[in-house]
Structure 1
Amino acid sequence: MVARKSAFSSEYSWFKGNLHSHSTRSDGKLDPPQVVELYRSNGWDFIAFTEHEFYSYWQELSSDDFLVLPGIEMGLDIPKFGRCHHLLGIHKSGNGAKHLVKAPPAEKDGMAGAQEEIYRLGKEGYLTIYCHPLWSRVEWEDISELRGFTAIEIYNHSSEMENHSGLHLDHWDSFLRRGIKVWGVATDDSHHWMEDYCGGWIMVNAPQLTVADLTEALVAGRFYSSTGPTITDFGLDGDEVYIECSPAKAIHIVTYEPWGRSFYAEPGKSISSAVHRVRGNEIFVRAEVVDSNGKTAWTNPIFLDKKA
């Protein structure tokens, strides 16, 4: 009998945060202290300032109950009309993170340029996240060979508010179906010129509210993304995948090959858990929770194929 194995640790705490935000240091409306106060007052535990081509690490704005992560957003063109690559960098320790320093321009464009930026940021101690693929209009052919990045934005609230281009799961699943471990993140990408804040977030399962603990959990995939619902547990119990969550109207178990299953609440009722037996030859399994308002939460995948 295989023991029940959760994707999360019951000994750790949960921290709510936004990995993608802008201030007056790039194209945002609010200055850094105002951004911090907005998120703190709404119950967030951390944010990352990811200014365009500009490193920042506002350590002095952190406190015992709120953490500011060091970050940057890099952008480069794709030699096809209207397409671009954007990458977030989040420093993994804070030690040696740059502050108020302009980044060097990318030396190449296209996928080769994006790959070089992933490598360059990695050498500087930053994990990388691929940004808003639908907003950037990228096709699978534009990113299929990218490697070494930690996650891809599956929901970007600013893009959704701007022109309904915030939700995109296809490229994420394309990586997962090939056994490539890439996590999915929901972010705000807040600029504060409209209500593009506090709409997409991650819940990180970590020992403490520190740069090192949060980024270690990000690299390990020990978090989930949400626009509303709460996920309290997700994992494997023998040959069954299980999920426990806040009241929902639907829970979708997503696998590849496509042998997953959807669970629906009866009219006027809700469900808060689901169990699905896996065959064992799926590459991965992940889950989505949809509440009565249509808001969604996404787990990261559990890989069942030991070669992945």
Structure 2
Amino acid sequence: MTFSPETPETPDASEIPHAPDPAPDPATPQRDDFLTQVLSGRLEPGAPDWVYLPVDVPPGVAELAVGYDYDRPATPSGVPGNALDLGVFDPRGHRVEDPAGFRGWSGGARDGFVLSASDATPGYLPGPIQPGTWHIAIAPYTVAPQGLTYRVEVTARTGDQGEPFVPNPAPQRAAGRGPAWYRGDLHTHTVHSDGVREPAELITAARSAGLDFLVSTEHNTTSAHGIWGHHVPDDLLVVNGEEVTTRNGHLVVAGLPAGTWVDWRFRAVDGVLPRVVETLHGFGGLAIAAHPFCPYVGCAWKFGFAEVDAVEVWNGPWTPDDEVSLRQWDAALVAGGAGGRWLPAVGSSDTHAHDDAVGLGQTVVWAEDLTRDAILAGVRAGRSYVAESATVEVTFDASAAGRTAGIGERLPAGPEVPVELAVTVRGVENGFVRFVSDVGTLAELPLPDDTGRVAWTTTAAVSKYVRAEVRHTSAQPAVFEGMAAFTNPIFLDAETGNS
């Protein structure tokens, strides 16, 4: 199952002047049991985002093997060099308006792939090798001023198709604790895109990090969806997702039905994100703007925040771009605080390498149980906080005139009725709590060594919302202190006549 935005057609290689119609190389040796075709061409700066190389596959092919390379000329300091992504579509369709033939994507993480009915290189989807015209998708991520020359070798091997691959997705429910706080990582990678961990290694790392759930978010592919059932234990929830890696930012989607793929071939100017998110919501899924101020090419979020369900404020170790994301998200809360829609914040590790700590950061969600729908509902409602590890625990509530509200909730109170804000922190030494409202910082209070509880009093007239940050005390002057945890807000709704 796939769904795709409607965007203008992207040309085949034969339709653009800088990528001539590829054809088999007559010098390539051929044998009875395989046929190899070599496709080559050149792309100039300003090439289309996606170029499709047609390959005719005859009947009787059991395995398709593709390898590619391209030149990498030296460029001046500060000028991007060549980077070329790779994927493939089978004869069922490759156009954006008809992408049913999607069979996998590896971006720039691999130099080739192999497909058969029973197996496939991670990132690609096993299945029959149908006869007809396949399309190798190449995508110039960056092109050096000198241009980019590529060579793609496609080998079709005949023989028995073999036993078909049988998907084994993760269950949508794990052994939970009923209504409770559950810890998870909403943004993870394995060898099924550009990560280095095997799926079993990610499971082991998640359990070691004290997590209850994780979301599988490989770049532009769903190949991992069909294997999690072989690895996931009964007490860990794996939610199917995808990192939709466009040229204008990355969208983390969580809650896809197993095998459902989201086409990434659009830009912000195409205006198709609302349709993508609407379809995603039809599945009960979430759309999360990932690392909105990431400094790398194509990674910063350019779509605006009107359509998404949450924003990934914390991504990996706390860095300046996370600090900027936090402040931009907080500024948006002011507009949403008067009873309107507001955007919850989440945190994730975006783990790729073995050195990337799974669960740094992590989203701690209040959910009715450890199920896909309950976890996503908690994230959607903002009933969550973000922490640096499982050792950090935060409780935050607001009380006034016998009423109490927690993270992500609204507290009705008379404008001048005192509202007590209370935060209790465990697992942070030598830190402080910052209470932040729509007017800025209300107070910064050191964490006591004994109880870990700090409190402050405000009113609904003074503060439309309040959220809490738990920071590490810096031994040296710093532009910003390290983050241990932060919460989503509690909104204070002023009631007239109750003061």
Where on the TM-score scale, by shorter chain, does this alignment land: which range?
0.7 to 0.9
Contact 2:244 2:263 in 1 (8 A): no
1:216-245 CA-to-partner distances (Å, cap 9, x unmatched) read: 211222221011463342111111221111
1:109-166 CA-to-partner distances (Å, cap 9, x unmatched) read: 348344443333223331111110121579x99454x324221111100685xxx644
Partner of 2:286: 127
Change (3 A) 1:54 1:254: same
Change (3 A) 1:124 1:301: same
Partner of 1:30: 197
SS of 1:54's partner is coil
Partner of 1:211: 372
Residue 253 of structure 2 is aligned to residue 89 of structure 1: yes
SS of 2:332's partner is helix
Partner of 2:436: 254
- Amino-acid identity (%): 25
1:153-210 CA-to-partner distances (Å, cap 9, x unmatched) read: 11100685xxx64443122112211114111111100012543433211122223221
Contact 1:223 1:299 in 2 (8 A): yes
Residue 217 of structure 2 is aligned to residue 50 of structure 1: yes
Contact 2:218 2:242 in 1 (8 A): yes
Change (3 A) 1:111 1:252: farther
Contact 2:316 2:356 in 1 (8 A): no
Counterpart Cα distance in 2 of 1:195 and 1:21: 10
Contact 2:250 2:301 in 1 (8 A): no
- Correspondence 1:137-216 to 2 at 5 A: 142-144=302-304, 146-157=305-316, 160=319, 165-167=321-323, 168-179=325-336, 180-192=341-353, 194-216=355-377
Aligned match of 1:234 in 396, 415, 423?
Answer: 396
Aligned match of 1:98 in 239, 245, 258?
Answer: 258
Residue 244 of structure 2 is aligned to residue 74 of structure 1: yes
The number of equivalent residue pairs is: 281
Q: Which moved more, 1:223-232 or 1:44-53?
A: 223-232
User: How far is 1:102 from its partner?
Assistant: 4.4
Aligned match of 2:486 in 259, 277, 298?
Answer: 298
User: How far is 1:74 from its partner?
Assistant: 0.8
1:52-74 CA-to-partner distances (Å, cap 9, x unmatched) read: 11235334433321111111111
User: How far is 1:295 from its partner?
Assistant: 4.2
Partner of 2:185: 18
Contact 1:76 1:110 in 2 (8 A): no
User: How far is 1:258 from its partner?
Assistant: 2.5
Q: Which has the higher helix share?
A: 1
Q: Return the index of the structure with the highest Cα Rg.
A: 2
Partner of 1:263: 445
User: How far is 1:298 from its partner?
Assistant: 0.7
SS of 1:205's partner is strand
Change (3 A) 1:111 1:199: farther
Contact 2:318 2:483 in 1 (8 A): no
Counterpart Cα distance in 1 of 2:397 and 2:229: 35
Counterpart Cα distance in 1 of 2:371 and 2:441: 39
TM superposition score normalised by structure 1: 0.79
Partner of 2:233: 63
User: How far is 1:27 from its partner?
Assistant: 0.8
Change (3 A) 1:193 1:11: closer
1:239-287 CA-to-partner distances (Å, cap 9, x unmatched) read: 1221111155210000012362111258xx5771222222213231100
User: How far is 1:21 from its partner?
Assistant: 0.3
Contact 1:16 1:44 in 2 (8 A): yes
Contact 1:121 1:127 in 2 (8 A): yes
Counterpart Cα distance in 1 of 2:258 and 2:422: 42
Letter in 1 for 2:242: I
Counterpart Cα distance in 1 of 2:272 and 2:357: 29
- Greater relative contact order (CA < 8 Å, ≥ 6 in sequence): 1
Counterpart Cα distance in 2 of 1:256 and 1:285: 7
Aligned match of 2:456 in 267, 273, 276?
Answer: 276
Contact 2:312 2:345 in 1 (8 A): yes
Change (3 A) 1:175 1:218: same
1:32-62 CA-to-partner distances (Å, cap 9, x unmatched) read: 1221122113322211110111235334433
Structure 2: 5+ residue stretches without partners: 1-176, 401-418, 475-481
Counterpart Cα distance in 2 of 1:305 and 1:129: 27
Contact 1:111 1:142 in 2 (8 A): no
SS of 1:149's partner is coil
Letter in 2 for 1:289: V
